[in-house]
């Protein structure tokens, strides 16, 4: 089994200066990747606008490409509803060039109600989102890898479009998905990497279902890199949010990471959505107390 990779998911609410500073610190500390969410505002769970608003994902990733020289950089994940896939492909190729081949293009079907409502961006039904997402993936892959791309579908029409300026034959596409019936099938068909929020138990179940989707289309499941994230709350006796959370003593957190690994996790991504000071404290604690035991 390859060494566990560990990533830092930094908050786009922070100032860009703080994002760059913390990214530099975690890179020096030995983390393997830095991730940025692609949203306009906090999630209210409804169509109501919520604070805080957020800095733009790919602008931050471009700055990180120039500021941190080693780690992988990724969007977690870009909502396909916000950008035409031709625009997104060119953005990704440019950042990949700036970073000398370190970008992971994380994409998803889109889901957050309030930002779509506030900015007049069509979200559509769940079925429509997935249909549009599948089409977008075909366009993205073509523009990132083929000399010319032609696609005629319900949502996109591309005619002889030239390949965007890339620096490597295959820029990895990560799909963020948890839907077991259809979305994990999309992952099996189109993704180089898969990501979901999970606890070890949830990850094990979804990973098994993803393997079944791979078997159905004749893909070797081992060719699909798997990443996950949960809130880490050392010392807590109960989770403080509704998100998947790993909490408790250092040994309990080490054990949970071991369970993820047994289920096939290649990379653990650690979110920090609070203050810059809280993030620094968590990443430092993790680097000193936990990572030496799990790598």
pLDDT in tens, the chain (295 residues): 789 999 999 999 999 999 999 999 999 999 999 999 999 999 999 999 999 999 999 999 999 999 999 999 999 999 999 999 999 999 999 999 999 999 999 999 999 999 999 999 999 999 999 999 999 999 999 999 999 999 999 999 999 999 999 999 999 999 999 999 999 999 999 999 999 999 999 999 999 999 999 999 999 999 999 999 999 999 998 998 889 999 999 999 999 999 999 999 999 999 999 999 999 999 999 999 999 999 9
Give the model's pLDDT for residue 7: 98
Query: Do the beta carbons of residue 67 and residue 18 sit within 8 Å?
Result: no
End-to-end CA distance of the chain: 11
Could you count the other beta carbons within 10 Å of the beta carbon of residue 23? 23
Give the model's pLDDT for residue 268: 98
Give the model's pLDDT for residue 1: 74
Q: Which residues contact 225 (CB under 8 A, 6 or more apart)?
A: 172, 174, 192, 193, 194, 266, 267
Look up residue 53 and give its DSSP letter: B
Give the model's pLDDT for residue 2: 82
Give the model's pLDDT for residue 241: 87
d(CA 280, CA 284): 6
Give me the CATH code for the 5-294 domain, please: 3.20.20.30
Select from 86, 84, 133 the least CA-distant residue to 107: 133
What are the residues facing 93 on neighbouring strands?
none
Give the model's pLDDT for residue 109: 98
Query: Do the beta carbons of residue 248 and residue 237 sit within 8 Å?
Result: yes
Check the CA dihedral 12-39-273-207 and report its sign: negative
What are the residues facing 107 on neighbouring strands?
78, 175
| Residues, the chain | 295
Query: Do the beta carbons of residue 225 and residue 266 sit within 8 Å?
Result: yes
Its pTM stands at 0.97
Tokens of 168: 């490597």
């Amino acid at each position: 089994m390859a060494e566990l990779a560990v990533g830092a998911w930094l908050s786009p609410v922070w100032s860009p200066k703080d994002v760059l500073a913390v990214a530099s610190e975690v890179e020096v500390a030995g983390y393997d990747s830095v991730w940025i969410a692609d949203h306009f505002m906090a999630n209210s769970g409804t169509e109501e606008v919520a604070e805080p608003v957020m800095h733009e994902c790919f602008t931050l990733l471009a700055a990180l490409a120039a500021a941190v020289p080693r780690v992988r950089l990724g969007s977690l994940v870009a909502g396909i509803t916000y950008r035409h896939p031709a625009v997104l492909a060119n953005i990704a190729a440019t950042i990949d060039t700036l970073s000398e081949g370190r970008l992971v293009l994380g994409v998803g079907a889109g889901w957050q109600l309030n930002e779509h409502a506030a900015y007049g961006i069509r979200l559509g039904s769940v079925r429509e989102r997935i249909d549009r997402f599948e089409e977008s993936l075909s366009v993205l892959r073509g523009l990132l890898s083929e000399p010319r791309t032609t696609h005629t579908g319900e949502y996109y029409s591309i005619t002889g479009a030239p390949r965007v300026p890339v620096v490597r034959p295959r820029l990895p596409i990560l799909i963020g998905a948890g839907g077991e019936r259809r979305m994990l099938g999309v992952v099996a068909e189109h993704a180089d990497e898969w990501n979901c929020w999970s606890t070890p138990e949830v990850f094990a179940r979804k990973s098994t279902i993803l393997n079944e989707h791979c078997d159905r289309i004749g893909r070797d499941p081992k060719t699909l890199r798997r990443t996950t994230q949960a809130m880490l709350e050392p010392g807590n006796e109960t989770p403080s949010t509704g998100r998947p959370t790993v909490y408790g003593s250092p040994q309990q957190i080490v054990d949970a990471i071991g369970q993820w690994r047994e289920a096939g996790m290649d990379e653990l991504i650690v979110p920090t959505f609070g203050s810059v000071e809280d993030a620094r404290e968590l990443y430092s604690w993790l680097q000193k107390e936990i990572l030496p035991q799990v790598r």
